Amino acid sequence: MSAPTANMRAVLERLAQEDAGLGDPTLMPPQHARALAELTNQRWNAELPEMAEARTVMHAGMPARWVVPANDTGTEAILHVHGGGWALCSPMTHEAASRRIAEACACPVLTVDYRLAPEHPYPAGLDDILRAWKALEPGRRWSIGGDSAGANLSLAAMLRLIDEGAELPACGLLFYGVYGADFDSDSYISNAEGPGLTRAKMMRYWDWYVSEPKRDAPAVAPLAASDAQLAGLPPLYLNAAELDPLLSDTEALVARLRALGRDDAYDLIAGVVHGFMQMGSALPEARDAFTRAGEVFRRIAAP
C-alpha cells in the first residue's frame, strides 16, 4: 500500500483542520449526521462546472437534480445514484460530482433524492432507484452509476432488472463501491483506521441499512450474485481508491467478472482515499478520474 499522493495529503491536512471536533457521523442521530454531511460537502461545490441547464425537478415522485452540459450529444443520459452509506448525502451534496459526470460523459445527469436508512432501511432506497429507472423518459439511451453506496444501489438495481427480464442500462459507472460485507478483507484490515472512511464506520452504515441475516442477497451484497447474473450485466466501468476499506470489494468483483470472460474497464487510483471524487474542486486526481470515466463511458455506452 502506498502513501497518499502529495495532492491527497494536502486535502487530508485541510480536512483535519476544518473538521476538527465535528465527530463521527455514524455515532450521531441520523438527522444530525445528515445535516453535518450537507454542510461539510458544500465545500466541494465550489467552482462548479458551467451547465447549459441545471434545475430541480420531480421524478417518480422524488425530488431530483437535472443537469445538462453544453457538450450534450443528445443521445445518452445517466441516472446518478449518490453515495453516503445508504444514510447520508443528497443530490445537493453531489452537485459538483453530477456536473463533472455530465461534462465528462457529454450527456445529462439525473440525481434522485432516494429514501435513506436507518428510517428507511433496505429495500426502500433500492426500490426508489428502480422506480426512478422505470419512470425515465424514452428518447435517450440511459445508463446508471454512482459512488460508494450509490455504486452498490446501481449494481443491485441492474441485478434486479436482470431477474425481472426488464430493459437494462446501456452501461454502468461504478465508483469505489460497496459490494459485500466482509469486514475481514485485506483492505478492511489494512485501511481499518482510514484516513477518511474506517472499518468501524462502514460496519455501522451496514447496521443502519440492513440486518446481518439479509446481507447474503445479491440485491444487498452484489458479490453474492450468481455467475449468470453477473454475465448478464451491461458493460461496466469500475474504479477503486487504493487507501479505502472497500478496495477489496471492487477487486473481488473485477476478478469474478474477468473469470467470466468479460472485459469491463477497471482503474485502481493510487494514493487516494474513499470518496476522493467528491473533492474535485481541490484534488486533481478526482478531476482526472471523471475524465477517465467519461472516456470509457463514451466508448462502452455507444450502441
CA distances to 62, 76, 88, 235 from 105, in Å:
24, 9, 26, 15
Question: Which has the closest alpha carbon to 195: 25, 9, 7?
Answer: 9
Looking at residues 139-144, what average pLDDT do you find? 97
Computed over every residue of the chain, the mean pLDDT equals: 97
Q: What is the pLDDT of residues 208-217, one digit of tens each?
A: 999 999 999 9
State the pLDDT at residue 26. 98
Q: Report whether 241 contacts 250 (CB < 8 A).
A: no
Predicted confidence (pLDDT) per residue in 225-237, tens digit: 999 999 999 999 9
Residue 302 has pLDDT above 80, yes or no: no
Full strand arrangement of the beta sheet holding 62-68: 53-59, 62-68, 109-112, 76-81, 141-147, 172-175, 236-243, 265-273
**Which is nearest to 136 in space by CA: 173, 166, 96?**
166
Which pLDDT tens digit goes with each residue over 76-99?
A: 999 999 999 999 999 999 999 999
Domains of the chain: 6-300 (3.40.50.1820)
C-alpha to C-alpha distance for 66 and 131, rounded to whole angstroms = 17
DSSP H stretches of helix in 90-198:
95-105, 124-134, 149-164, 186-190
pLDDT at 1 over 70: no
User: What does the pLDDT read at residue 39?
Assistant: 98
Contact 285, 7 (CB under 8 A): yes
Q: How far, CA to CA in Å, does 43 sit from each of 82, 248, 257?
A: 17, 29, 36
- Is residue 118 reached through a cis peptide bond, with omega within 30 degrees of 0 on the bond before it? yes
